[in-house]
Amino acid sequence: MIAQLQYNSKRLKIDLSQPLDISIAIKGDDSNVNAWYIDSPKIEPEVFENGVISVEEGAPVNFNRITFNPHSHGTHTETVGHITKKKYSINKYLKQFFFLAEVITVAPEKSGEDYIISAKQLQFAIGNKKREAVVVRTLPNTREKKSRQYSNTNWTYFEKDAIKLLVKKGIKHLLVDLPSIDREEDAGELKGHNAFWNTKGKLRTDCTITEFIYVSNKIKDGAYMLNLQIAPFENDASPSKPVLYQILD
């Protein structure tokens, strides 16, 4: 199914029958991806006095309770409310869902004991392209990212200047295959988050960060139409399902 979308003054054609899902699903066991030092998510049938509400246990329906943290347990999209006293709900502040995106692949640079993504790398990868969203795939890129236990691993992070460059370029939606754009242990400074949402100036309340994506190696770098799908949680963050569509010539 071919659809035409109006983007600025151009009409873009995308094939809706060929979605490229870059989300990581939430599973109720220890094989689920994880960060931030908490237990795995749980998906369990409710239990009442008359028994376990599960078809396998003889109930007429499955009736599961799901316990998880969106920031720790899978692909999630967050607003500035993640780092502010005032509440900014993802359900209220993400009002559009299709964006012109650029997929880029970056090999993190060694910096002391850390691996970082620098402004120079992003400038080289994006150049002067005008995009609303950027999808960052880091190397090495293996399926192990979908189940990795990230706590206490000092993961790759973005230098503050790299995030400031994205803001300067007008990027409103940043998607990364990491647990956070910031260093795991940074004394709560969150330099990248603060720079992206401009917390020292006019807040960029219509901008989002999506973490814990997985971009298959089959997806080439370049321009795509991004459909950023969320669950309607009144919370700073929601599990999300970003889907890319190739732009047809």
**pLDDT, averaged across the chain:** 96
Please report the pLDDT score of residue 1 as a whole number: 83
Please report the pLDDT score of residue 2 as a whole number: 86
Give the Cβ contact number of residue 234 at 10 Å. 10
The DSSP code sequence of 118-176 is: -HHHHHHHHTT---SEEEEEESS--GGGGT-B-TTS---EE-HHHHHHHHHTT--EEEE
Residue 116: pLDDT band (50, 70, 90) is very high
Residue 145: pLDDT band (50, 70, 90) is very high
User: Does the reported pTM lie above 0.75?
Assistant: yes
Domains and CATH numbers, the chain: 2-25+70-248 (3.50.30.50)
Decide if pLDDT at 50 tops 90.
no
DSSP label at 34? B
Q: How far is CA 237 from CA 23, 79, 91, in A?
A: 15, 6, 9
Residue 8: pLDDT band (50, 70, 90) is confident
Residue 9: pLDDT band (50, 70, 90) is confident
H or E element at residue 109: strand 109-111
Decide if pLDDT at 172 tops 90.
yes
The average pLDDT across 14-18 equals 93
Residue 37: pLDDT band (50, 70, 90) is very high
3-state secondary structure of 191: helix
Residue 190: which region, alpha, beta or left (left: phi > 0; alpha: psi -120 to 50)?
A: left
The average pLDDT across 203-217 equals 98
